[in-house]
Amino acid sequence: MDVTTWYLEQTHPDDLRPARPPAQDVRIVRAEIPSPEFSRFLYTAVGGDWRWTDRLPWSWRQWKEWLDRPGTETWVAWLRGTPAGYVELSAGDGTGDVEIAYFGLLPYAIGQGIGGHLLTVGTLRAWDLAERWPGLAPTRRVWLHTCSLDSPVALANYQARGFRIYDTKVEAVRVEGGTPGPWPGAGPRDG
Look at residue 178 and tell me if it is in a domain: no
Q: Does 3 have pLDDT greater than 60?
A: yes
- Domain residues for 74? 2-172
Look at residue 163 and tell me if it is in a domain: yes
Look at residue 116 and tell me if it is in a domain: yes
- The whole-number average pLDDT for the span 45-61 is 88
pTM above threshold 0.75: yes
Kindly report, residue by residue over 100-159, the tens digit of the pLDDT.
999 999 999 999 999 999 999 999 999 999 999 999 999 999 999 999 888 888 999 999
| Number of folded domains that form the chain | 1
Look at residue 88 and tell me if it is in a domain: yes
Look at residue 90 and tell me if it is in a domain: yes
> What is the predicted pLDDT for the residue at 48?
82
Report the side by side order of strands in the sheet with 164-172: 26-30, 72-79, 82-91, 97-105, 141-147, 2-10, 164-172
How many H-runs (helices) and E-runs (strands) does the chain carry? 5, 7
How does the average pLDDT of the chain come out, rounded?
Answer: 91
